[in-house]
Amino acid sequence: MTISYERLHAACVRLHSAAENNHRIHGFAAPLLVFLPETGPEDLVLVPDGIPPQHVLDAFARRADAVAILTIGEAWVSVPGLSAQQMAALAPEDLPRPSSDPDRAEEIVTHCVGIGPDGTTMVLTRASRIRRTPFGTMVSDPVDGVPGTRRDGATEALAAALRPAQPSAEPRPTRAPEDTPMPPPAPPAEPGAADPSACPGCSVSVGTLHADACCIGWCAATGRQRRDGCDVAHGCRTDPRRDCRTSWSGEQPGLSDARRLGWYAVRTSDGWTSAAPETPGAVEDLNRLIAEGVWVDAQQRYQAPGTDPGPATSGGDADRED
C-alpha cells in the first residue's frame, strides 16, 4: 500500500488550512493524528500529549488501512545561533531549547509521512508562523519544507505503523467511500491471545476503566480527553474520593453520542462539512460534538445545546468513589 507525492501533498495542504482556520476561530490548532486510507474518509485522533506509543499507532493505522499518517499542532520554535558542527558537538542536555530562547516563535506545523511508490518513506512538512500583536493574532502564509526522506525517531514510528507486520501474498481489500470507518466485531480470541476488542491505548477490556495515562479515555467530569490530566494532585481528582475515569466501550469515545445526535460530516474540497447521516462517506462529527455539544456528567454523555438532559443516572463514573 503506497501513496503518491501529489496526494500526500494535497492532504497536507488541506489539513494545514483547516488548522489555520481553527486557530483563527478558536485561538488554537488542536494537536491531531490523521490516518489517511487508500479510499474513504480519514480517521482523526486527538493527541494532546504528542505521538502515542508505537502499539497505539499501529492499532490506529491498521483500523484505518492507512497509507499515510499526518500530524498537526502548534509548537515553539527557535533558530539557534550555532553552526551545525557546534550543535553536533554539544551534549543533549546542553542543546539550545526554544523554552529558554527569548526570540522563540510559535508555529502551526503539519508533518506528513507516507510510503512512496518506490517503497521509501516520504516526508512533507508545512508551517505557518503565529504572530501575537496588540491588534490580535495573525497567521503568516504557510511555507512548505523541502520534501524528501528522513530517519528521525518520530518519522520512523509513523513509517513503522504504515508497514504491515508480516508480508502478505493476498492484496488488502479496498475500502469503498460508503464503508464505515469502524471495523466489524472481531471473532473471539484464542485462549492466551491478546484481546482484539481491548482499548488500543491501555489494553483494558470492554467495560473496564481506562488507565490514568491512557490516550484514548475521556474525563467523566468534562467529556474531554484526559491523558495525564487528572490525578489526586490536580485536575478533577483533587478529591481522592472522586474518580473521573471512564470505561472502555469498545469504540472511540464520542462516536455513539454523535450517532445519537445525528451529527455527521463529509470531507469536501473546503474541508469537513456537516451532512446527513445517510450521506455517502459521512462519518461521526467529533469536532462538532466537542465544539457544540454539552457534556452531562450525571449521564456520561453529550446533549445538543438547549436540550433537557433528563434525570441523572446512578453510578456514573464521575460520582464513583475509590
Q: What is the enclosing helix (H) or strand (E) of 301?
A: strand 301-303
Instruction: In whole angstroms, give the CA distance from residue 311 to residue 67.
Output: 45
Q: Report in angstroms the alpha-carbon separations of 178 from 84, 105, 181, 226.
A: 50, 42, 9, 32
Residue 233, pLDDT score: 52
Contact 31/46 with Cβ under 8 angstroms? Answer: yes
Residue 260, pLDDT score: 93
Q: Count of alpha carbons within 13 Å of 195, Cβ hemisphere only?
A: 13
Contact 224/218 with Cβ under 8 angstroms? Answer: yes
**Packed helices 54-64 and 153-162: angle between N→C axes, nearest 10 degrees:** 40
Distance of CA 6 to the CA centre of its chain: 23
287 by DSSP, 3-state: which?
Answer: helix
Q: Which three cell numbers stand for residue 245?
A: 475515569
Residue 194, pLDDT score: 56
Task: Write down the residue that cell numbers 453520542 correspond to.
Answer: 257
pLDDT of the chain, 322 residues: tens digit per residue: 788 889 999 999 999 988 888 888 777 788 888 999 888 788 888 887 778 888 888 888 888 889 999 998 887 776 656 665 665 666 666 666 655 666 677 888 888 998 888 878 888 888 888 887 777 778 888 888 877 655 556 777 888 888 764 343 344 344 343 443 443 444 444 554 556 788 887 888 888 888 777 778 888 887 887 755 565 555 565 555 567 778 898 888 899 999 999 999 888 877 778 899 999 888 888 888 888 899 888 888 999 988 776 665 443 343 343 3
Please list the residues that pair with 126 across neighbouring strands.
110, 144
